[in-house]
Chain A
Amino acid sequence: QQQVKQSPQSLIVQKGGISIINCAYENTAFDYFPWYQQFPGKGPALLIAIRPDVSEKKEGRFTISFNKSAKQFSLHIMDSQPGDSATYFCAATDYKLSFGAGTTVTVRA
């Protein structure tokens, strides 16, 4: 069974809008939470990552919010652009990576 639950499966957002992807986990041994971005025909690439002692991390238009007590974390894409259209995977690691099922984001111009 999936150790990291990700939602939604897909979302469509207008250019300039905010995309929000949510993830939840149960394993309290997880201590590192990366997000990967995958374009069609390519392998995933690390986008941004957070450790559980931090509640928020921002890199450009991408922000991770982390709620340790709720065992939830989310990715916000601000001012979404057509070039952000991709599949996004949340993940968590203790000694190996466990991935969520992925969210396909489509940004309409």
Chain B
Amino acid sequence: DVKVTQSSRYLVKRTGEKVFLECVQDMDHENMFWYRQDPGLGLRLIYFSYDVKMKEKGDIPEGYSVSREKKERFSLILESASTNQTSMYLCASSPPGINQPQHFGDGTRLSIL
């Protein structure tokens, strides 16, 4: 079974802090993704990566950056956290190719105070 592990289930930070969300997958997948999930908006893609050191902007990259130094690990960085970044963050991975099923972690609920 594919396992995508997000380091924290719940996280509380203050505005202006630099926040790191970590994601690790154990299936040697090339593709990794970061989404945020908000009620009434579904899942929105923040960033994705097709390979180590590679990253692509998704639909809502503003205020975020990512890092992929190792194939199994994909980090989401909030450079200076703001209250409008309070959300559920979901990480996913998939095999190479465009129309591959994505396997999701259970999410990190981030609150910015």
Contact = CB atoms under 8 A, between A and B. Distances in A.
B107 A43 contact: yes
Interface in A5-54: 6, 9, 31-32, 34, 41-46, 49
Interface stretch (B35-43, B66-74, B79-87): B35-43
B98 A93 contact: yes
Contacts, number: 51
Contacts of A49: 99, 101
Contacts of B43: 44, 89, 97, 99
Contacts of B41: 2, 101
Nearest to B98: A95
Contact of A96 (B42, B48, B101, B105): B48
A2 B45 contact: no
A102 B99 CA distance: 20
B7 interface: no
A43 B90 contact: yes
